[in-house]
Structures are given as C-alpha cells and as structure tokens.
A and B are shown apart, each in its own frame.
Chain A
Amino acid sequence: DVVMTQSPLSLPVTLGQPASISCRSSQSLVYSDGNTYLHWFQQRPGQSPRRLIYKVSNRDSGVPDRFSGSGSGTDFTLKISRVEAEDVGVYYCMQGTHWPPWTFGQGTTVEIK
C-alpha cells in the first residue's frame, strides 16, 4: 500500500500570512495514463470533507484562488497564500493512483495563532 506522509501535523498561522503543507508518498503517484492522482481535502470543524485540489494542481469549483497545489512524483505541497479565519480545519492529501486502497495522509491541523 502507498503510505502518505504529511508535515507538519499542526500548523499555527497568523491571519493574512502564508501556509504550506507537505505531502510525500512512499512511491511515485504518476499513473500509466500520465496523470498524477494526488488530491487535497479540507475538513472544517464539524463538517464533511471537501475536495480543494485534484490531480496535484487543479482547483475545484468555488475554491478560492489563495489555495494552490504543486509537486510531482512523490513530493507535493498545498499552499494558502494568505490564511483567512475560514481556513481553519484539517487538511488531507490522498492518492488515487495505486488502488486499492485509496490512502490518505494523517491530516494537518491549521489553526490561527
């Protein structure tokens, strides 16, 4: 199984400042079709998960452009350019290249300092 490792696990951020979350996979996530099935999810307190980014760098509909995804192979990053109060929650990366199983990272908790 592909292991997804996120860092940091806790990220205190000042409002208006940038934030960055790293996600590393135990093997390359490049699929035979050339796509990389690495996605990012946000889970606000008390809510269901919501996909923010699909296939490394594509923002889902309605996702603010302060969220961006990048990376390749085994190393990926989610960046928030300027953190807002509504960004508080837990962020997960997930791989959909080597399935089953589909595997998630442990989650990174973003909080306001």
Chain B
Amino acid sequence: EVQLVESGGGLVQPGGSLRLSCAASGFTFSTYWMYWVRQAPGKGLVWVSHINSDGSSTTYADSVKGRFTISRDNAKNTLYLQMNSLRAEDTAVYYCARSFDNWGQGTLVTVSS
C-alpha cells in the first residue's frame, strides 16, 4: 500500500524557516516524480514544486521561487521542502503527492506573529 506521511509543519513567525518532510513507503520511491501542493484555509489547490525521480531537475511556482527548495533522499525514501523567508500568505496545508495519483494527509504551516 502506498503511504505518504508529511511532517514538520507548525507555527512560525514571518521571515522564519521550516523544513517539511514526506516519508514514502509501499512503492519504489526512486522511480517517481514527486510534488508539493498547498491549500490555504478555505481555498483551492495550488501546485508549489516538483522534483524528478533522481533529484536532478526541480521546478517552483513563481510565488515561492527563491525562497523554497525541494529535495529528496532516495536512500531514505523521503521528500523535503525547505521553506525560508516565510510570509503570512504561505499559511496552508502542504501535501506531498506521488505523480498526483497518491497524496499524503498534509501538514499545516501557519505563518503568524
């Protein structure tokens, strides 16, 4: 069974940093593209970032470019999202997704003073 479990969310002040993790199991992690998608409270789904299977290629939404960094450790079956210079508008539930066919339960990031 495919499982994606996010962690690392929490309350952070504007300008602060957080690192989200997504632990994958039940499939060959190293062969899949992975994604981060976020959902602000009461709003729709917004793609944040993608990484290819070996980590050599990444893309970002304009709203996070230069502030967020996606990475993966295929030996640990884990996806990461390093979030720096956080803003109030980054407040959202962050989901990791495997090729969009399987999603984690999400982790809430709240940016507030």
Interface of A toward B, CB cutoff 8 Å:
39, 41, 43, 48-51, 54, 60, 90, 92, 94, 96, 99-107
Do B106 and A100 have beta carbons less than 8 Å apart? no
Do A101 and B101 have beta carbons less than 8 Å apart? no
Do A107 and B44 have beta carbons less than 8 Å apart? yes
Do A104 and B59 have beta carbons less than 8 Å apart? no
Among residues of A, the one whose C-beta sits closest to the C-beta of B101 is A51
Do A107 and B45 have beta carbons less than 8 Å apart? yes
How far is B106's CA from A54's CA once the two chains are assembled, in angstroms?
Answer: 22
Q: List A contacts of B95 (CB < 8 A).
A: 48-49
Among A48, A49, A50, the one with the most B-chain Cβ atoms within 10 Å of its Cβ is: A48
Question: Could you list 18 further interchain pairs (A-B, Cβ under 8 angstroms) beyond the known A39-B100, A96-B100, A99-B50?
Answer: A41-B45, A41-B100, A48-B104, A48-B106, A49-B37, A51-B101, A54-B101, A60-B101, A92-B45, A94-B100, A101-B61, A101-B62, A103-B47, A104-B44, A104-B45, A104-B46, A104-B47, A105-B44
